[in-house]
Amino acid sequence: MLKHNQLLSTSQLKKLENHKYSCVSASFLDPILQPWWNFLVRSIPTWLAPNLITIVGLFVNIVTALVLILYSPDAKSDPPGWACFLCAGGLFAYQSLDAIDGKQARRTNTSSPLGELFDHGCDSISTVFVALSACISVQIGHHPYWMFFQCFCAMTLFYCAHWQTYVSGTLRFGKIDVTEAQIIIMGIHVISGIFGASIWKSKIGGIEIWYVVACSTIVLGSMSLLQIFSVILAGGVGKNGSTVAGTSVLSPIIPFSLILVPAFIISQKSTEGVFEMNPSLYIVTFGMVAAKVTNRLVVAHMTKSELEYFDWGLLGPFMLFLNQYFNNFLPERIVLFGAAAWCTFDLIKYCSQVCVEICNHLNIELFKITPQLHGVQPSGAKEEHNNGASHVHNTSQQHRKQNRVSRRNNN
């Protein structure tokens, strides 16, 4: 039952409290980077909250990507080398901090379902800016629909990874996955920083280098999708092969299709070239909606609840569609700015409210370590993923019980 203006019901919060994290990882690079991550987590103070580490990493990632976007919003201009280096450094910082938030939670005995949700939520936003910055570094804006495909492919892969988690109950990482993709993109930024972004237009055997990179991502992305859909189509862990919520394993295709299809149609029907003239803003706009829908999918998985099809974030794309229907009553660029503002606001509002509701239910704070009694062994979800563990379980129920005891004692 939902209280007034509450996003999560009492039943969902109870299921979230009892959520058990499960992960399988076969990453090539995670074991190699473990010594660096272990050194890093030992170097930070124990009073630093895990979620604060995650959000700082995301902030650095977004700011450094925005610098690149400001210098080349059309992904055609040659950005300064230092901006490419800065973007590579920002991504490395995000990768490192994202890898140690779970380690810090385990170290400080503060793991909770909120940490897992917060981590995935930040990743969904980061995916948009990482993909966009990579496109700018290779000046793929000269081929706008390649840029469209590359960015939306990244968002789709991230969504599908959590789709199969919603079906199977286990998050799976392949041999070439997130960490490997991030390292490759860092390499792209460094190469652009050294030789200039125009290096990607050079030809090898009559083929421009950017085209080789783009085709390689298609091959790797297709391999990942095949692996993901083999899990989805094999049936879920719910009753009669359904999802963890007992719904159809194919149902999550609908919410994301309501983003992808309008994004393509609006770009095609535009008489002012709204995507070609404003590729970065267009991708960020739809990327914010994609991030919110992905977050809702993660929440649905963790609360074992049905994923609703409609999302208020879709009002942004609807503004663009409605304007086109009335023969561009307003300039499309102006409407796009309005849509971007709405989609960003709606995402922040949703994430903030979900975090507040979970914090209130678990009696914890988002960016501050809540004092505990003793004896709670945290899940260390992120750490166990980085170590390639097959199944990890958090102890949020124990955590909540001890906080109840602590609260009663304080009273």
Decide if pLDDT at 257 tops 80.
yes
Burial class (CB in 10 A: 0-12, 13-18, 19+), 38: middle
Q: How many helices (H) and strands (E) does the chain have?
A: 15, 4
> Does residue 411 belong to any structural domain of this protein?
no
| Residues of the domain holding 59 | 10-406
Question: Which pLDDT tens digit goes with each residue over 326-348?
Answer: 988 999 999 999 999 999 999 99
Question: Which pLDDT tens digit goes with each residue over 230-250?
Answer: 999 999 999 989 999 999 999
Q: How far apart are CA 231 and CA 167, in angstroms?
A: 8
pLDDT of 369: 85
- Can you give the length of the chain in residues? 411
> Does residue 2 belong to any structural domain of this protein?
no
Question: Which pLDDT tens digit goes with each residue over 385-409?
Answer: 444 433 334 444 444 444 444 444 4
> Does residue 192 belong to any structural domain of this protein?
yes
Amino acid occupying residue 227: Q
pLDDT confidence of 205, banded at 50, 70, 90?
confident
Q: Is 143 among the residues known to form the active site?
A: no
User: What token pair was written down for 154?
Assistant: 């990244």
CATH of the domain at 302: 1.20.120.1760
Which three-class secondary structure state does DSSP give residue 23?
Answer: strand
Tell me which H or E stretch contains 203: strand 203-204
> Does residue 5 belong to any structural domain of this protein?
no
> Does residue 1 belong to any structural domain of this protein?
no
Count of domains in the chain? 1
Mean pLDDT of 59-87: 95
Mean pLDDT of 36-41: 95
pLDDT confidence of 372, banded at 50, 70, 90?
low
Per annotation, catalytic residue among 4, 19, 120, 393: 120
Q: How far apart are CA 48 and CA 44, in angstroms?
A: 7
Decide if pLDDT at 143 tops 80.
yes
Decide if pLDDT at 38 tops 70.
yes
Rounded to two decimals, the pTM is: 0.88
> Does residue 239 belong to any structural domain of this protein?
yes
Q: Across the chain, what does the average pLDDT equal? A: 88
Neighbours of 354 (CB within 10 A): 21
Decide if pLDDT at 153 tops 50.
yes
> Does residue 3 belong to any structural domain of this protein?
no
pLDDT of 42: 94
Mean pLDDT of 100-121: 91
Q: How far apart are CA 321 and CA 335, in angstroms?
A: 10
> Does residue 72 belong to any structural domain of this protein?
yes
pLDDT confidence of 52, banded at 50, 70, 90?
very high
